[in-house]
Amino acid sequence: MNIQLYQQYLQQYVAEAVRESDGSVRGAAEHLSMIQVKGLLLMHKEEKRRALADARTAFDEHRHWPLEIILKHLGVTVD
């Protein structure tokens, strides 16, 4: 697994979830649950699936944490 690609996809998924949600942890978790990674010819499938799974886990298991702490926990910055 390529760690740089994993970090890139993790950043992408989390930023999209925060941007498309109402700004709450619950909204971001719901958006992440709707994202699907599938396809026969999908490039970097392992990195994308792992990044999405880790983002979902962090947002689902830590819903009681403030959004900033979850982002820091994942090592992600959102503008």
pLDDT tens per residue across span 34-58: 999 888 788 889 999 999 999 999 9
Residue 41 in domain: yes
Q: How many domains does the chain have?
A: 1
Considering the domain boundaries, does residue 47 fall inside one?
Answer: yes
pTM: 0.89
Q: Is residue 79 part of a domain?
A: no
Could you give the CA distance from residue 42 to residue 2 in angstroms, rounded to a whole number?
15
Domain range for residue 26?
A: 3-74
**CA atoms of 12 and 68, how far apart (whole Å):** 16
pLDDT digits (tens, 9 = 90+) for 5-16: 999 999 999 999
Q: Helix axis angle, 3-20 relative to 67-74, nearest 10°? A: 170
